[in-house]
Chains A and B, each alone.
Chain A
Amino acid sequence: MWTSVFVSGIVLGSFYTLISLGFALIFGATHTFNLAHGELLVLAGYVAYWLWKAFGLSLLFTFPAAVVVALLLCFVLQRLFSLLSEPRELNSIVVSFGIAILLQNGMLFCFSGDYRLIRVPVLNQGFHLHQIYLSYGQVALLALSLLVIALLYLLMRHTYVGKALRATIQDREAASLAGINVSGMGVVAFGIGAVLIGLAGPLYGCIHYLYPTAGPQATLLAITITIFAGIGRLRGLILGGWVLGLAESATVFLWGASWRELVSTIILLTVLALRPHGILGRDER
């Protein structure tokens, strides 16, 4: 029994990492928190749902549209964030909170408050592997999550833009001294973040019900994993996702689904209590 808890925890955790990547990247490069992250994700899911439902488009072809919508919105977000005054971290929270409200109401207006799910029947079938039942949905989710993470890893390691972005995330001042356009990298981070959100959104719509206020839960997951990982560590994000996924599936197994929401809260508050100066660890001299 525990093996299947473990497997579903890893699958869930990989997916959680996938949905936090955009948030973490934007935070790392620009030091702003995008509290509208979950709403963008849900909106990308709605776009996929709408194309799938209204035009019968295969799920695979909905990804480009979701990416385009996420890119447009992230561009607006980036423009707004560039207007922020100090303290930027805190102000970005308040502004993006406002954007989250705007998006929630926009989605309520466009898609109503009904619960929606992108149903792909094949994903619910499955097979047995050494007595562990795996659904094709789980396998696809794990494979796609790991694929996107791997692509991001290659991008960050082996392209000029990726290297510049990593340098910006690790040390903004040093990066700008080395001739990297730091604010330009912020725009790039929003762009890549948007692509990641656009890829994660339709998947989210396949395994979670979509409704206008589903966003904050996803945002909380992203915050938790990002703060758990610390800044600029892709491996930390994967580990954070797995820890969260495993803790959630163990909690659901032991105490029931209604306690699941508490898991990310407790992990987040614990990490913050251990690192009260925040994950940047700046110590004022």
Chain B
Amino acid sequence: MRGTKTTKRRHQELRLADSILLLGFVFLLLLPVLARDSDYVLQVFTHAVLLATLALAWNILGVSGSISLGHAAFFGVGAYGSALLSLNFGFSPWLTVPLGGLVATVVATLMGLICLRLRGAYFALATLAFVEIPKVITDNWDGLTKGSLGLVGLPGFTALRLGRYSVDFGASPAAVYYLVLCSALLLASLVALIFRSNLGLALQAIREEEVAAEAVGVQVQRYRLLSLLVSGFFTGVVGGCYAHLIRYIEPGLVYGIHFSAVPMIFAICGGRFTILGPALAALILYPVDQFIFHPLLPAGHQFLYGAVIIVAVLFMPSGFWGHLRKGQFALLKTRSVE
């Protein structure tokens, strides 16, 4: 009797989750039409989607149980790498953004060598401190990076031509929005693939019971490094996109604690053990912050992020999406269930 009741409730919850997802997706697709009068709304959502991508990238490491407080290192290096390549060699951002991601991967390797011997709290503290290394170097390498002055006048994404059609990212905020949305969807699909692959299985096993994971043959350190590198690469790519969208960067901005904190907060509030949770949290919390709290409290509106992370860790450790989808997190199905 009780069993059927809970099953019924769970089904309702799952249906609710699915409808939220579908509605949200349709909303995101139609947003440029819905908000055609307001560039501001579109701008906020463009940034929200960018942050969602960042949170997805963070969670590639997060799913292995390691909490990084140092992803701003990859974000900043990706932004600077891409910006400098485009400024000094005149390459198109389409090329320099992935290259910036590769530079971030190099930095991720360095972070891995230093920090991955550590676990849990000590890993988190080490990553928090690590950010200072690329930041201070960028700050001091005046000849290359112009130091704390920052880099201005970065090229934006150039127009894409496909036969007779062309998309001009300079003129159309909607085009930029769809570009960012596409990258977010691509990364989300990739994360879904990773979660369902043996790599994902290994990372989750490491998170749950490292000793047992080792005993079934998972090469723990190798997988942890791999997830850090992949996570670092995509964080660097997002950093590069950010640089060419904002078209101005400085060390205090791109290496700031903001870009370490925000993906962690979104991932934990949304649900570290889910594929979409981190992205959904970004898509909800950032607009709430911008549309509701920013007008109310111009100074100090970001207290929201502090409040939600405290509530999430203390009262909903699997995140809101993880909580809604509880019972349906099985990624690999049996024949019988299908």
Contacts and interface: CB of A to CB of B under 8 A. Distances in A.
B194 interface: no
A221 to B, nearest CB: 11
Residue of B67, B301, B314, B317 with highest tally of chain A CB at under 10 A: B314
A264 interface: yes
B126 A108 contact: no
A207 B9 CA distance: 60
A227 to B, nearest CB: 8
Contacts of B169: none
B136 interface: yes
Place the interface of chain B in its size category.
Answer: 35 or more
B129 interface: yes
A268 interface: yes
Contacts of B268: 94
A80 B307 CA distance: 12
Contacts of B160: none
B62 to A, nearest CB: 11
B67 A93 contact: yes
A94 B313 contact: yes
Given A106-B300, A112-B299, A98 B305 contact: yes
B314 A84 contact: yes
Contact of B303 (A101, A112, A264): A101
Nearest to A111: B299
A133 B115 CA distance: 42
A97 B261 contact: yes
A87 interface: yes
A33 B136 contact: no
Given A262-B136, A265-B132, A83 B314 contact: yes
A109 B299 contact: yes
B121 A93 contact: yes
Interface in A158-216: 213, 216
A93 B125 contact: yes
Interface string B318-334: 00000000000000000
Contacts of A83: 314
Contact of B125 (A216, A258, A268): A268
B139 interface: yes
A238 B79 CA distance: 40
Interface residues of A, number: 45
Contacts of B117: 273, 276
Contacts of B130: 265, 269
B290 to A, nearest CB: 15
Contact of A262 (B114, B133, B261, B314): B133
B53 to A, nearest CB: 22
Nearest to A96: B310
Given A33-B121, A95-B314, A278-B121, A105 B132 contact: no
A80 B310 contact: yes
Interface string A224-259: 100100000000000000000000000000000011
B303 A99 contact: no
B129 A264 contact: yes
Given A89-B121, A90-B120, A273-B117, A102 B132 contact: no
Interface in B85-143: 114-115, 117-122, 124-126, 128-130, 132-133, 135-136, 139-140
Interface of A: 33, 80, 83-85, 87, 89-95, 97-106, 108-109, 112-113, 213, 216, 220, 223-224, 227, 258-259, 261-262, 264-265, 268-269, 272-273, 276, 278
22 contacts: A33-B121, A89-B121, A90-B120, A93-B121, A94-B124, A94-B268, A94-B313, A98-B305, A98-B310, A101-B302, A101-B309, A104-B306, A109-B297, A113-B299, A227-B125, A265-B129, A265-B130, A269-B114, A269-B115, A269-B130, A273-B114, A278-B119
Interface of B: 67, 69, 114-115, 117-122, 124-126, 128-130, 132-133, 135-136, 139-140, 257, 261, 264-265, 268, 297, 299-303, 305-310, 313-314, 317
The 10 closest A-B pairs by CB, nearest first: A101-B306, A109-B300, A102-B306, A89-B121, A105-B300, A98-B309, A105-B303, A98-B310, A265-B132, A276-B117
